[in-house]
Structure 1
Amino acid sequence: MMVGDVLRRTATVLAIGVLLSCALAGTAVAQPQPAEPVAVDAPGAPPVPPEGAPPVDDGHVESTPPAVTDTPDDWRLTLSAKDETQAPIPPLTTALSSREYVVGGTYMGELRGPDEGEPPGGTLEVGYEIGCGIDMSTSNGVSLTGTMGLNPSIGLIGIDVISPGIDGILPSLGGNLGAGITVGLKPGLVNVIPVTKKEYSGADPWVMISKFRVKIDGCVGESFIRSYAFLTRSTDQSEAVLAWYGVTKKI
């Protein structure tokens, strides 16, 4: 075999190898890449916020510790709450000075004392307090003010050094007109909104509130909301009152 034939065969083999390598590389590049997983919200679950976005406010509120007191007749009263929710919603009036919230929670009383033969009795009241930074409900709000007046005057004609006599009288009338805007604002106030007052007979009264709407008008600036509960134990000769207040939430 001639040397030239060997060289030609070697070159042919190398060319075929290069073509196969390019074809395999093109096939690898053309392979579809696996798609990144996409988060899908489960039915009824809160929406998943985008990565890096602040968490969505679901309205959940941590309740404060239980309030406890002991009475002179050896009774212990306990008042607590759980599963509280407070979420702002757009008011029906669409006014910037209105505030509306959807609230809920379970409020529980507990009375423990000596066995007197009869169950304890009294009332359990639950409600909400909404604090407003600036109050416009009891002021004049935004009003227009204006002033208008007339200024009559009389002038003399023909008085000079040569002829001191008066040739005539010239009456004149002037006026003024002014206007402005007055905004009547008052310091903030606390609106107390009682939801229910339950008369009970027993050692473990409770009240449950679900999807209840509370609303105030005439509020400008920031507003604050918190729940409250009053537990009362009444007898023929005494009455003990225990108060509990929830966490203050700024909205």
Structure 2
Amino acid sequence: MARADPLPVEDVTQSADTDDGWHLSASLTRMTINSVPNMAATAFTREGFVTGKAAAAIDGSGTSAVNSGTLVVGLQLGCQIDLSEGGSIGGDADLGVSPGFNGTNLFNDVGPYADLGGNVSINLLPGTITNVGLGKKALKGRTGEIVVHDAHVKVDACGGAVSIRFFTSVMIDTDKSDDSVNAYGDILSL
């Protein structure tokens, strides 16, 4: 694996109090993004490796017991110009001999000629944002974590800049309500 200096991403924590009295927290720590030259050596693919830790915490004394909880971690990838529809190259040619004579100069009117024409078509679509899951864990108890080391990420068929952002979601279910807390890392370039 080609190595560059991984770019660190600032830690982030988000929390909220649920209507039934629980304090729910989601955090992202130890995040790095290591952009590398892509294996295809194309201008329309970006490639890298990401590392990070997502954690969930359920604190407090809610009025309804927590039936279940889930921790999810992933990436959001933004492509500036979607080139996935591709393009086409076309052309036409007309070759021949020009036998005409207009009475002034025979050499200007008689002889071979070539008429070449062509066209290029590229289907440019508005940019896209794609979610990529890196891990999902059912919470057993009040805490949980997912650690990802050097997960491979790539974006194909993209013109222009590619942005990347970590996200994590913590969800709990009680007899009274369903609640979630979401945390997002900084937006950086891949």
TM-score range, shorter chain: 0.7 to 0.9
Residues 1:122 and 2:50 aligned together: no
Which residue, out of 206, 216, 228, partners 2:167? 228
Give yes or no for contact 1:119–1:202 (8 Å, CA) kept in 2. Answer: no
Mapped to 2, the partners of 1:178 and 1:58 lie a distance apart of 48
1:192 CA displacement: 1.0
Structure 2 match to 1:157:
none
Name the CA distance, whole Å, in 2 between partners of 1:236 and 1:209.
32
Structure-to-structure mapping, 1:1-251, within 5 angstroms: 57-64=5-12, 66-114=13-61, 121-137=68-84, 139=85, 141-146=86-91, 178-251=117-190
Matched to 1:83, the amino acid is R
Q: Indicate the structure (1 or 2) with the bigger Cα radius of gyration.
A: 1
**Per-residue deviation, 1:57:** 3.9
CA contact (8 A) 2:66 2:174 kept: no
More helix by share: 1
Q: Give the whole-Å Cα distance in 2 for the aligned partners of 1:68 and 1:185.
A: 40
Q: In structure 1, give the amino acid aligned to 2:180.
A: V
1:190 alignment partner AA: I
**Following TM superposition, by how much is the alpha carbon of 1:246 offset from its aligned partner in structure 2, in angstroms?**
0.6
Does the CA contact (< 8 Å) of 1:120 and 1:203 recur in 2?
A: no
- Judging by fraction of residues, say which structure has more strand: 2
SS at match of 1:128: strand
Q: Any conservation in 1 of the 2:8–2:33 contact (CA below 8 Å)? A: yes
Count of aligned residue pairs for this structure pair: 167
SS, match of residue 189 in structure 1: strand
Residues 102 and 214, structure 1, Cα contact 8 Å, conserved in 2: yes
Gapped runs of 5+ residues in structure 2?
Answer: 94-114
Query: C-alpha distance in 2, partners of 1:200/1:134?
Result: 38
Amino acid at match of 1:144: I
2:108 paired residue number: none
Q: Which residue of 1 aligns with 2:96?
A: none
Instruction: State the identity as a percent.
Output: 30
- Structure number with higher relative contact order (C-alpha < 8 Å, ≥ 6 residues apart): 2
Report deviation, 1:208.
0.6
Specify every segment of 5 or more residues in structure 1 that has no aligned partner in the other structure, as ranges.
Answer: 1-55, 149-175
Distance change >3 Å, CA 233–CA 116, structure 1 → 2: same
Counterpart-to-counterpart distance in 1, 2:36 and 2:53? 21
Work out the CA distance in 1 between the residues paired with 2:175 and 2:36. Answer: 45
Q: Structure 1 residues 250 and 211 mapped into 2: Cα distance closer, same or farther (>3 Å)?
A: same
Deviations 1:8-29 (A, max 9, x none): xxxxxxxxxxxxxxxxxxxxxx
